[in-house]
Structure 1
Amino acid sequence: MIPPQVPFQIHNAQAQDANITGFFEKVDTNLIKLIQEDQLHPKPLMLCSGGTSSRCSANGHWTLDLRRNYKTINFNALEKDVVIQAGVNMNELLSHLVKENRIFPVGLSGITGIGYILTGGISPLSRKYGLAIDQILEIEGVWGNGNKFRKFKPGLLTLEQDINEWRGLCGAAPFLGIITKLRLKTNLLKPLYLWESSLSPVQLSKTIQIAESWPDYASLHWIWGDYIKAFAIVEIDSLGKMKDVEGILNQLPKTIDSKLFRISSLNKLKEMKVPVIENKESNKRYSEVLGLLGSPLLSRSYEFVKSIEEIMNLRPNKQCYLAAQQLGGNTMRASEGSTSFVHRDAMWKPWITGSWDPKSNDEKDKSLTWMVEAWSKIEPYCPGVHLAQLHDHLPWHTKEVNAAFKEWLPGLQQLKSTCDPKGILPPL
């Protein structure tokens, strides 16, 4: 264990500033003994694989930081799969795979760790290849009770207990165990077209309707701050499909700042920043993010966008914003009971970001209140929750856990009672 006097550097400002008790950097016999003897207090133990979440650390808690000692990446050229340890972030994974002419469906941020994969993993390529959890072939780690495990993707002869444990780990692993290694399926690298444009609310609602009928190799995402910035990503399967690609791109609105790029892979995507006209906010900001899930909007896209416009008119500062990613295609084709991501009917993941100056409790209260109000506005269209971030420190934790796991929650809680009976990891 390492005392808090040693620097603990992470991306998330809120977690960075936490007054932690100390941190561990290895899942060794010492840590496992502390877990088994229930010596880690207060609970839960915080986990850090990428350092982007506000719950990488917390005041008075211990953190397990996997980033330095779990960095191995091994690509199997014969099987075309890759084994990564828990400290590998998505930029590192993709950079390694591109050298092998392969890809993995990473998200919009490359600095996220394996938490991105284990909580679902929604990518601009998910419509084509499925969620990140759908690519997992093998999982190694330690349960919250201290017992080591190695699990394989279920087959026809897999026992029911192993099937349930696999389901729990794929989408709810942070509640059950400490993951140290993953074996993942990869796919052939193909070039991409990226379209970006500023849109009006009316143009956004029309673009949403258009995107819902796109083939699986195209997806839409957008971000709304002072104005709306939208992006379409289209994978190019072959030169013969270029006419299809051109047909998709020609459907999109023509605006003054519309741009079209050809990029080699997702690691060439530019960072999706909040569109602001003039930013007078402090550079250092705390934030929380709440991800929702909903089915195709169809003819309701206009009223959905209108609701968001009302929300955005009430945001407390310029760094509070809404964004969304498109699902569908292969994310809908996996069985609802195969993973803990039960919202297989989802077409959209909007997420709400509340932000505040660390020195202002008033601004914090206003931002968190705005997030709850935004949630209530969007909930009729997107009743599900994607638990890519944990909020066991906030009053809405119980509601979002119920919305995330629905009818599977009792089974998940039963699994936790066996795998993490002492509550070493975050509560369900």
Structure 2
Amino acid sequence: MGCSVSIVGGNHSGYGLLGDLVMEMEHHFHGVEADHASGCIRVEAGVKLQALAAKAAEAGLIVPLGTAPSVGIGLILQGGVGHLTRRLGLALDAVQSIQLVLAAGDVVTVDRESSDESKKDLFWALCGCGPNFGVVTSLELKAAQLQSFRATRHIFRLPTSTAEATTLLRDYMLRARSLTRDCCSDCCLYMADDLTEQDGMLMGIYDFNLGCDVPPMKTSAQLVLNRVDEGLDTVQLMAQEPYLCEQPAGVVQRGFLCSRFFACDAEISEAVVESLKEAPSRHCYFHFQHMGGAVADGSSAFLARDAEWSLVISAAWAEDEGDCSHWVKSVMEVLLPVALGCYATDLGPDDVDLARQTFGTHTSRLLRLKQKWDPGNMFRHGFPLSQLGQAP
């Protein structure tokens, strides 16, 4: 196997520096061009999501993005779950064309409406599996007209009883899946920093909507905080992310996370509550990112189109605590039987079994395309696509 190449965009991946050749995109490809008249945005590979959202807003446009402001466009190529997902789809569903350098050194542009079946297949693979096929230098995105958001944040103290806490989490899930596409409802389940382990579980519910009527969360749980913010744009929303709001500042020194996708009827509430109670650190938490809606309308290498939630399982620990990453792995095993798969952004080169779950029925097609466009497996430091043809 010859020289390997890895790409650094937002530099969030722990595998970006593993290649024999490492390409830092931020220093060379960092332009954004947004055109209100055409509703198109051209973004280069070194741009971070916050800069992209800001440039789009200046032109009176919005695009569906993820929720971490410092992440690069590698997230777009693998999914991109955010507050516009239910209305406009995943971030990768906004991609209209992709310019990339292939393993053979050719520079090509592939697009959604290509009449060339070979390039159309490559475009399909790039939207969900992009880092495995080449060095993407730019994307063209389809944008929508800019609208303002209304964000509400409610924090509830959960009962100490596992059964009662499970019922309240299930109530959140039932309410969330009944909402229209103009609203998404995220949830964070975590331990309050100032309470004992026995009575310290909190549930934060975050509604983001584009002017629709949103029914209140009906619960007998104690309301700790109620906050409403009007007239927010997509840049301002990135500062209100649940994981940023609830994690105690300056406490956590290290972390490890992984996401799994779940359908609207997945019975996971009890397992989630029990797992958090058993977490080795009070800084571990769950984040339900609300999906559904327009996600089901798209078609690409991204498999989990029936997902209602991306459940982010996060282990975090203070400097004086031991590594808690094993907790994430144990929770993933518990939830495996009802999961639709993992998020490709969280996978590394050794996560073969998780990658099989992530691409499922798309695996054979992806392997054929991988053999065609990168037969030497030059781009192998993300999820291990080329290994999926081997026997488990």
* Number of the residue aligned with 1:418: 372
CA contact (8 A) 2:98 2:138 kept: yes
CA contact (8 A) 2:36 2:60 kept: no
* Number of the residue aligned with 2:29: 70
CA distance in 1: counterparts of 2:363 and 2:10, whole angstroms? 26
CA contact (8 A) 1:223 1:275 kept: no
CA contact (8 A) 1:223 1:274 kept: no
* Number of the residue aligned with 2:10: 50
CA distance in 1: counterparts of 2:312 and 2:104, whole angstroms? 33
* Number of the residue aligned with 2:311: 350
CA contact (8 A) 1:225 1:275 kept: no
Aligned-residue offset at 1:181: 0.4
One-letter amino acid matched to 1:296: C
CA distance in 2: counterparts of 1:90 and 1:425, whole angstroms? 23
SS at match of 2:355: helix
* Number of the residue aligned with 2:388: none
CA distance in 1: counterparts of 2:50 and 2:245, whole angstroms? 24
CA distance in 2: counterparts of 1:323 and 1:100, whole angstroms? 32
Aligned-residue offset at 1:160: 2.8
Structure-2 change in CA distance of 1:271 and 1:330 (3 Å): closer
2:190 is the alignment partner of 1:225: yes
CA contact (8 A) 1:224 1:274 kept: no
| Farther off after superposition, 137-146 or 267-276 | 267-276
CA distance in 2: counterparts of 1:61 and 1:316, whole angstroms? 37
* Number of the residue aligned with 2:209: 234
Aligned ranges for residues 360-399 of structure 1 at < 5 Å? 363-364=322-323, 367-393=324-350, 397-399=351-353
One-letter amino acid matched to 2:311: P
One-letter amino acid matched to 2:282: K
Aligned-residue offset at 1:306: 1.4
Aligned ranges for residues 151-300 of structure 1 at < 5 Å? 151-154=110-113, 158-199=115-156, 200=158, 201=165, 202-226=167-191, 227-236=202-211, 244-245=212-213, 248-251=214-217, 253=219, 255-269=223-237, 270-273=240-243, 281=251, 283-285=252-254, 287-297=255-265, 300=267
- Alignment TM-score, normalising by the size of structure 1: 0.78
Structure-2 change in CA distance of 1:306 and 1:409 (3 Å): same
Aligned-residue offset at 1:278: 7.0
CA distance in 2: counterparts of 1:115 and 1:386, whole angstroms? 13
* Number of the residue aligned with 1:240: none
One-letter amino acid matched to 1:295: A
SS at match of 2:154: strand
Correspondent of 1:83 among 42, 59, 63 = 42
Aligned-residue offset at 1:225: 2.2
CA distance in 1: counterparts of 2:218 and 2:271, whole angstroms? 22
- Alignment TM-score, normalising by the size of structure 2: 0.85
CA contact (8 A) 1:128 1:217 kept: yes
CA distance in 1: counterparts of 2:248 and 2:375, whole angstroms? 50
CA distance in 1: counterparts of 2:343 and 2:37, whole angstroms? 34
Structure-2 change in CA distance of 1:279 and 1:318 (3 Å): farther
Aligned-residue offset at 1:78: 2.7
CA distance in 1: counterparts of 2:60 and 2:10, whole angstroms? 24
| Farther off after superposition, 225-234 or 60-69 | 60-69
CA contact (8 A) 1:297 1:381 kept: no
One-letter amino acid matched to 1:347: E
Structure-2 change in CA distance of 1:75 and 1:252 (3 Å): farther
Structure-2 change in CA distance of 1:354 and 1:110 (3 Å): same
CA contact (8 A) 2:79 2:90 kept: yes
CA contact (8 A) 1:221 1:324 kept: yes
One-letter amino acid matched to 1:166: F
Structure-2 change in CA distance of 1:288 and 1:392 (3 Å): farther
Aligned ranges for residues 319-338 of structure 1 at < 5 Å? 319-334=283-298, 338=299
SS at match of 1:258: strand
2:83 is the alignment partner of 1:124: yes
Which sections of structure 1, spanning at least 5 residues, go unmatched?
A: 1-36, 237-243
One-letter amino acid matched to 2:253: K
* Number of the residue aligned with 2:107: 148
CA contact (8 A) 1:219 1:234 kept: yes
* Number of the residue aligned with 1:133: 92
CA distance in 2: counterparts of 1:359 and 1:87, whole angstroms? 36
Residue correspondences, number: 360
The one-character-per-residue Cα deviations of 1:293-333 (angstroms, maximum 9, x if unpaired) are 111127x4xxx221101111222223332211111111112
CA distance in 1: counterparts of 2:348 and 2:189, whole angstroms? 23
The RMSD of aligned alpha carbons is 2.4
The one-character-per-residue Cα deviations of 1:85-124 (angstroms, maximum 9, x if unpaired) are 1011111011111111111112221111101110011111
CA distance in 2: counterparts of 1:289 and 1:94, whole angstroms? 25
CA contact (8 A) 1:225 1:274 kept: no
Percent same amino acid among aligned pairs?
19
* Higher-strand-fraction structure: 2
Structure-2 change in CA distance of 1:222 and 1:70 (3 Å): same
Structure-2 change in CA distance of 1:124 and 1:77 (3 Å): closer
Aligned ranges for residues 31-42 of structure 1 at < 5 Å? 38=2, 40=3
Structure-2 change in CA distance of 1:376 and 1:425 (3 Å): same
CA distance in 2: counterparts of 1:144 and 1:228, whole angstroms? 47
CA contact (8 A) 1:83 1:182 kept: yes
SS at match of 1:317: coil
